Structure 1
Amino acid sequence: MTAKFHFIAGLPRSGSTLLAALLRQNPRFHASMSSPLARMTSSVLVEMTGEDGPLVSPDKRRGVLRGLFDAYYAEESATREVIFDTNRGWGTRLPLLTELFGDVKMICMVRDVARVMDSFEVLVRKNVFERSGLFLDERERATVYSRTEALLLPNRTIGYALASLKEAVYGEHARSVLVVEYDHLVRFPAQTLRLIYQFLGEPLFEHSLDTLHYDEPGFDNGIATPGLHLVRPSIQTIARRTVLPPDLHERLSQLSFWRQPGYSRAHLVRHANAGAGDADGAAKLVIASADEVSEPDLLPELHRLP
Structure 2
Amino acid sequence: MAPEPSQPAASQDPAAPAKPVPAEQQATPGLRKLAATGSRLYRITANSQVEEYTGTAGSWTTIRREPTDRLITNATTLYATDSGSGNILEYDRAKKTWTVIGGPGADFAATADQLYGVSPDHSAIFEYSGTPGLWHPAGEATDRIFTNATTLYATNTTDRNIQQYERAKKTWTVIGGPGADFAATADRLYGINPDHLGTYEYSGTPGVWYPVRGATDRIFTSGTTLYTTDTTSGKLYEYDRTKKSWTAIGDRLSAFAATKDRLYTVSADRSTIHAYSGTPGTWFPINSPAPDVLPS
With the length of structure 1 as denominator, give the TM-score of the two structures: 0.24
Whichever structure has more helix as a proportion of its residues is: 1
Please report the TM-score for the alignment, with normalisation by the length of structure 2.
Answer: 0.25
Flag the structure with more relative contact order, 1 or 2, with Cα contacts below 8 A and sequence separation at least 6.
1
Please state which structure has a larger fraction of its residues in strand.
2
